[in-house]
Amino acid sequence: MSTDRATDFYRENGYWLHKKPLFSEDQFARLSALFEDLLAQQEAGRRADQLDVPHFNCPALFEFLLAEQVLDLVEPFIGPDIGLWSSHFICKEPQIGRATPWHEDSAYWNGRMDRMDQIITVWLAIDPSTRANGCMRVLPGTHVNGFSQYEEVDRAHNTFPRQIIAEERDNTKAVYFELEPNECSLHDARIIHGAAANSSSLRRCGYTMRYFSLTSKVIAERNETHRVWHCRGKNVAGNKLAERPAF
């Protein structure tokens, strides 16, 4: 990709599509197998979309979270000092996969970091991600609008309990991120995004790998059970970082 073109587009629109394989075939096969194992180990009654921060208990995922090609992809957008904020397998089962209501990631992390403009998500397709099976969609340019107002939604049919009110979003401007397995998108934590329910016969799984600039300060008292890791560069803000696991 042209780095200047990508960063300029990202600053203006709040996202970038990386429509090429991120990992080697062997690496991607290992990651896919790890996901299938984690999914099979889910407690009875838990939905497939609830595999949040799996790296807390699965050190093997750090092979991918700390991979040079991922950090090389992220660095032009948030700079050379990179920390790992979180990760999440978001899997929508065929025909019953819940919708992801319109939201800003930053709204769920408000107060946990001193700024929200240096957090980026790499959304890696594990399965084909299409409009038919509920691919992610964003409202371009909304990353500069500040926090939106929310209303409650039915949790039985939505992955989150709240949604941005209709008056603060124009759904007609949505851009749909259709991706093949091992392709990815990148988006700013502040952009308004969501996904429709999966009413198709095909599963839709993505792995979100979330990073932040280590020039940002993680508020320790608001993250007592949440761990962050050093990925690359300097720990400029002096954050408390977890020890890297062996993998």
pLDDT tens digits for 142-184? Answer: 999 999 999 999 988 999 999 999 999 999 999 999 999 999 9
Structure tokens belonging to residue 131: 């409009």
What's the pLDDT tens digit per position in 209-241?
Answer: 999 999 999 999 999 999 999 999 999 999 999
Measured between alpha carbons, how far is 87 from 121 in angstroms, rounded to an integer? 9
Q: Please say whether the beta carbons of 209 and 57 come within 8 A.
A: no
**pTM of the shown model:** 0.96
Q: What is the dihedral of CA 240, 242, 244, 247, to 10 degrees?
A: -160
User: How far out from the chain centre does Cα 37 lie?
Assistant: 20
Contact 229, 84 (CB under 8 A): yes
Average pLDDT, the chain: 95
How many angstroms separate the most distant Cα atoms in the chain?
48
* CA 214 centroid distance within chain: 18
- Which residues sit opposite 100 in a β-bridge? 195
pLDDT band for position 1 (cuts 50, 70, 90): low
3-232 has CATH 2.40.30.60 classification: no
Contacts of residue 10, Cβ cutoff 8 Å, sequence gap at least 6: 16, 77, 186, 188
